[in-house]
Amino acid sequence: MSKSKPASLLILTYLTIFVCHLIFPLFLGYRAVYAAPEPPEIAADSYLLADLKTGRVFMSKDVDTPQVPASLTKIMTLFIVFDEISQGKLSFDDEVSISEEAWRTGGSKMFLLVGTAVRVEELIQGITVASGNDACVALAEHISGSVTSFVDRMNRQARELGLASAHFVDPHGISDDNRISAQDLFTLVNAYITRYPEALQFHALKEFTYAPPGDNPITQFNRNRLLWSYPGVYGLKTGFTTRAGFNLVALAERDGLSTIAVILGSARGKSIDEGERERIVLATSMLDYVYKNFSYVEVAEPNANLGRVRVWKGKGKWAEGIAPTGLGATVEKGKEDSLTYEVVFDTDLEAPVQRGMKIGEVIFTCEGEEVGRADLVAKDEVPRGNIFRVMWDSIARSLLKALGKA
C-alpha cells in the first residue's frame, strides 16, 4: 500500500499538468502557431518556389546555375512581341507572311503554311498553347527582319533586365545551346507579367484551334496540365528537349497569395507522357507546400498612397509612392498578426521622375525576420523644374549635405 499511493499521486500530477496545458490557452485567447515543415524533395537539376509579389523564396536549388531552357526560351520571344505591341509598332490584327524558313522549322508546330498570312494574335496563341516553333520564327522575321537579328535583340533585352546567366541562340528553344538560370527566369517572368499583364490571358488558354487556308482546322491542347488539375494556376510555359529534360514555369494565385514555381531538368530520360506526368507531380507538391503552410496578409489596397518623398530639381517638390497591385506579404500560417513593415523611400531623387518609376520599397518582417520586399512607384510624373528651381535646389541640397541632413 505504501508504494501504490505515491505512484497514484504521481500519475494524478501528470494528468493535471497535461489538462492545464490543454485548457489554460483557451482562457488566454491563445492561437496555436505551427512552424512550416521542411519543403518536399524535388527531383530536378534546379528549381525555385517564390512569392511573386515580394520575392520571398520558399524552396530552391541551384538557382544561379545556367540550365537548358528548351521552350521556356519562348518567354523572352513573347516579351519582345508584347514590347512591340506596347510601343504601337505591332498590333494583334497585323498579318504576318509565313516564310519557307518558318514553315520548315521542326519540333512542336502550329502547322503554318508557307506563303500564307497569319494574324499576330493567332501566332501568339500558337506559341503560348501549341508552343509553335514555326510561329516563333514567323514573328522573329516580321519584327527584326531575320531570326539572327531577333536573337540579338533577345540577348540585348536579357542584358537590360540584368539576366547574367541568359544566352539565347534561337527564338524557340530547339537548340540546347540556349541557357538561363532559375533565378533569371524568375526575374524575366516577373518583368514580363508586370509590364505586359495582357499576355496572361493567352497563357491561360487550355486549347487553340488553327485553320490553315484550304485545310482542316487543327486543335492543340496546352502542355501545362496544371491548368486542368490545379485550382488557381493561370500559366505560364512548359519546355522539353532530351538534354534539357522536362521544364516548367507555373503561376498560381489563391486568396491573394501569388506564387511562381520554376522547374528545370526534371524527369530526364523518361518518355513524353511519363515526363509530363512527373513534372506535374513535382509542381503540385511544390504548390501544395506553400498553400498548405503559408498565408498572404494584405496591408494596403492597390494604388493606396503610402507616403511621399522629396524630389530635387522638380517642377513639383514631392512624389507620392504607391503599390499598383496592392501591398502585402506571405507568412507562415498562424503568424498573420506578427507581420510588420517599414516604408523606405529613396531620399536622393532628382527630377524628372516618370510615372511608375521605383522611388522606394517596403520591407516586411515577421518576428524579426525579413520575409519579403515590394517596390513603391511614383503615382504621377514629376517633370524637371525651370532653371531657377534647379539652381535653388542645387544650392539647398549642397547646404543640407554639408550639414549632414541630406
C-alpha cell at 69: 531552357
Q: Is 338 a catalytic residue?
A: no
Annotation marks residue 108 as catalytic: no
Alpha-carbon distance 180 to 192, whole Å?
A: 15
Instruction: List C-alpha distances in Å: 181 to 44, 189, 349.
Output: 13, 12, 33
With beta carbons less than 8 A apart as the criterion, state whether 146 and 26 touch.
no
Residue 280's nearest CA partner among 293, 295, 294, 261 is 261
8 assigned to active site: no
Tell me the C-alpha distance between 41 and 240, whole Å: 21
Annotated catalytic residue: which of 60, 71, 108, 258?
71
Q: Mapping DSSP to helix (H, G, I), strand (E, B) and coil, where does residue 301 land?
A: coil
User: DSSP labels for 67-86?
Assistant: B--GGGGHHHHHHHHHHHHH
DSSP state, 30?
A: -
- Of 46, 53, 60, 74, which one is the catalytic site residue? 74
Query: Is the peptide bond prior to 287 cis by the omega test (within 30 degrees of 0)?
Result: no
Rounded-to-integer distance, Cα 166 and Cα 159, Å: 8
275, containing H or E segment: helix 272-293
Q: What's the CA gap between 99 and 286, in Å, rounded?
A: 42
C-alpha cell at 356: 511608375
Whole-angstrom distance, CA of residue 168 vs CA of residue 72: 11
Q: Reduced to 3 states, what is the DSSP secondary structure of residue 58?
A: strand
- The H or E element that residue 359 is part of is strand 358-366
DSSP state of 31: -
Closest CA to 374 of 308, 317, 318, 330: 330
In order of 70, 175, 208, 324, the CA distances from 169 in angstroms are: 11, 7, 27, 35
Q: How far apart are CA 103 and CA 118, in angstroms?
A: 12
Q: Which residues carry out catalysis?
A: 71, 74, 131
